[in-house]
Amino acid sequence: MANVTVIGAQWGDEGKGKIVDWLASRADAVVRFQGGHNAGHTLVVGDVTYKLSLLPSGIVTGTLSIIGNGVVLDPWALKAEIEKLTAQGVEIDAENFAIADNCALILPLHRDLDGLRENAAGTGKIGTTGRGIGPAYEDKVGRRAIRVCDLAHLDALGPQLDRLCAHHDALRHGFGQDPVDRESLLNELREIADYVLQFAQPVWKRLKKVRKAGARILFEGAQGVLLDVDHGTYPFVTSSNTVSGTAAAGSGLGPASTGFVLGIVKAYTTRVGSGPFPTELSDEIGQRLGERGHEFGTVTGRQRRCGWFDAVLVRQSCSISGVTGIALTKLDVLDGFDVVRICTGYRLDGRILDYLPAHAADQARVEPIYEEMEGWKGTTAGARSWADLPAQAIKYIQRVQELIETPVALVSTSPEREDTILVRDPFVD
Ligand code: IMP
């Protein structure tokens, strides 16, 4: 039975929420496999808008939702998000929700460090979401993390806490901060432990069972390939691997289980936070894209930077992530432009490049080479079939698919679940 892995193919905010929600309604399990509550997924179901940061999107439809081991989990953010959704009428219990017991925790000391570093970085700041994501992953890789399973053994946490605090106290000292208050951290963990533990289990085992039963699994990626810690615009990236391959490692299933890789691609480009952005528009066109596309971050409310579609970047992302087909989103934001532009290559020091080079300084210097296309007059908003689209809009989609060397599987034409043109069903393919 087919599984589907959904990933963002740009810098995040491609409109994954809606697509994942639509797929989740047909999946038997939805799994988050990387990132944390830095993600922001907006789901619109009927008249109700749900905003998710940490929980898998399947939670809204009551589908089995799983937080895999690759996620870094803030227990307090988890509780707050569950309480918010419960107040909206969503039922969440140990039957429909599970957390990997080997997940690393995000602690208040991680949030502190994220903020201290960003404040001290001046113009070199990454523009993180301030949620402690990077410091939490550092401690995981540094083998100092407190994990979900540790919450069941808090009386034996002493030596682990010593190692963790010794590391953080040295860093905090460098920023002129007081050492970690160990007692209060331990008390906070004691207060939240049972809440988290009610959902904790070896999710690889649960997923194995789900898989054996022939169920469809939807792997829900967060952020985007260009924010991947290896393949993204380093160091202006998040601290996890956002590529499709992480679905396996971050949930405890083998690489063959990722199935159809659906890359979510916005019809133009946006980015939040700092870092290179070759097609960025600091003029009224960029402003128009931002206004029409409501480009404000779900998590931080920050205004997103906007620019033309960059086919070089998306082709690279699709290749790196083995994308089977893309979902093209927010095409309606381009409605009404006389001319639309697509970046097809870069110029750097007299050379033409068909890829984004690895070095940050080169990434910042590349000059986009544009192809111009005639815009379209009618609207694409709410289209549910090709016949509903203006001819020029169809030409734009065809050109995008040609340039990125990856087929379009679906086109999303509004935040509503039904406003979708389906070309290839990822679950059936
Ligand atoms: P962090 O993940 O909070 O460490 O932030 C690192 C970079 O990733 C910053 O540029 C953030 O703006 C960006 N980022 C993190 N999560 C998201 C997301 O869900 N959408 C878009 N950008 C994100």
Domain residue extents for the chain: 4-100+199-260, 104-196, 265-422
Q: Confirm or reject: Cβ of 13 under 6 Å from ligand 1.
A: yes
79: Cβ contacts below 8 Å, ≥ 6 apart: 192, 195
What are the tens digits of pLDDT across the range 171-212? 999 999 999 999 999 999 999 999 999 999 999 999 999 999
Whose CA is closest to 262, among 230, 225, 289?
A: 225
Measuring from atom 19 of ligand 1, which residue has the nearest CA?
39
27: Cβ contacts below 8 Å, ≥ 6 apart: 4, 58, 63, 215, 216, 217, 218, 427
Query: pLDDT band at residue 272, thresholds of 50, 70 and 90?
Result: very high
What are the tens digits of pLDDT across the range 316-372? 999 999 999 999 999 999 999 999 999 999 999 999 999 999 999 999 999 999 999
C-alpha 377/C-alpha 192 separation (Å) is 55
pTM for the model stands at 0.96
Confidence at residue 188, expressed as pLDDT on a 0 to 100 scale: 98
Measuring from atom 2 of ligand 1, which residue has the nearest CA?
238
The half-sphere exposure of 299 on its side-chain side, counting CA atoms within 13 A, is 21
Confidence at residue 397, expressed as pLDDT on a 0 to 100 scale: 98
DSSP 254-281: -GGGG-EEEEEEESSEEE-SSS--TTB-
Residue 96 identity (one-letter amino acid)? N
341: Cβ contacts below 8 Å, ≥ 6 apart: 308, 309, 370, 371, 372, 373
What are the tens digits of pLDDT across the range 147-171? 999 999 999 999 999 999 999 999 9
167 is catalytic: no
What are the tens digits of pLDDT across the range 103-159? 999 999 999 999 999 999 988 899 999 999 999 999 999 999 999 999 999 999 999
In 10 A of CB 411, how many CB atoms? 25
What's the CATH class of domain 104-196?
Answer: mainly alpha
**In the predicted structure, residue 1 carries a pLDDT above the cut 60:** no
For the beta sheet containing 260-266, the strands, ordered from the edge strand earlier in sequence to the opposite edge, are 200-201, 97-100, 64-67, 29-32, 217-220, 4-8, 260-266, 325-329, 408-412, 420-422
Confidence at residue 403, expressed as pLDDT on a 0 to 100 scale: 98
Share of the chain above pLDDT 90, in %: 90
C-alpha 20: how far from chain center: 11
Give me the residues paired with residue 372 across strands.
Answer: 341
Confidence at residue 18, expressed as pLDDT on a 0 to 100 scale: 85
* SS3 state of residue 373: strand
What's the CATH class of domain 265-422?
Answer: alpha beta
The CA 302 to ligand 1 mean position distance, Å, reads 11
DSSP 4-63: EEEEESSSS-SSHHHHHHHHHTT-SEEEE-SB-TT--EEEEETTEEEEESSS-GGGGGT-
C-alpha 220/C-alpha 208 separation (Å) is 17
Testing ligand 1's pocket by substitution, the residue of 7, 14, 16, 38 carrying the most ligand atoms inside 8 A of its CB is: 38
207: Cβ contacts below 8 Å, ≥ 6 apart: 29, 31, 66, 217, 251, 252, 253
What are the tens digits of pLDDT across the range 367-422? 999 999 999 999 999 999 999 999 999 999 999 999 999 999 999 998 888 899 99
C-alpha 113/C-alpha 417 separation (Å) is 39
Measuring from atom 21 of ligand 1, which residue has the nearest CA?
12
The CA 14 to ligand 1 mean position distance, Å, reads 13
Q: Confirm or reject: Cβ of 133 under 6 Å from ligand 1.
A: yes
Q: Provide CATH code, domain 4-100+199-260.
A: 3.40.440.10
Instruction: Determine the average pLDDT of the residues in 50-66.
Output: 93
Q: Report the alpha-carbon angle 93-73-9, nearest 5.
A: 105
* SS3 state of residue 34: coil
Measuring from atom 20 of ligand 1, which residue has the nearest CA?
12
Confidence at residue 46, expressed as pLDDT on a 0 to 100 scale: 77
* SS3 state of residue 199: coil
Give me the residues paired with residue 264 across strands.
Answer: 8, 327
Judged by average pLDDT, the poorest of 36-40, 87-91, 189-193, 275-279 is: 36-40
C-alpha 116/C-alpha 124 separation (Å) is 13
Considering 28, 37, 41, 150, which one is annotated as catalytic? 41
**Which stretch of DSSP H or E encloses residue 368?**
strand 367-374
Q: Confirm or reject: Cβ of 131 under 6 Å from ligand 1.
A: yes
Torsions phi, psi of 326, nearest 5?
A: -110, 155
* Mean of pLDDT over the chain: 95
Q: Confirm or reject: Cβ of 273 under 6 Å from ligand 1.
A: yes
**In the predicted structure, residue 34 carries a pLDDT above the cut 70:** yes
C-alpha 281/C-alpha 199 separation (Å) is 45
Q: Which two tokens stand for residue 304?
A: 């997103």
Classify burial at 384, counting beta carbons within 10 Å of its beta carbon; exposed 0-12, middle 13-18, buried 19 or more.
middle
**Gyration radius (Cα) of the chain, Å:** 22
**In the predicted structure, residue 219 carries a pLDDT above the cut 90:** yes
Query: pLDDT band at residue 70, thresholds of 50, 70 and 90?
Result: very high
Asked, as a colleague might, if the bond just before 179 is cis with ω within 30 of 0, I would say no
Confidence at residue 45, expressed as pLDDT on a 0 to 100 scale: 78
**In the predicted structure, residue 94 carries a pLDDT above the cut 60:** yes
Confidence at residue 297, expressed as pLDDT on a 0 to 100 scale: 77
41 is catalytic: yes
Confidence at residue 389, expressed as pLDDT on a 0 to 100 scale: 96
C-alpha 227/C-alpha 83 separation (Å) is 30
C-alpha 187/C-alpha 183 separation (Å) is 6
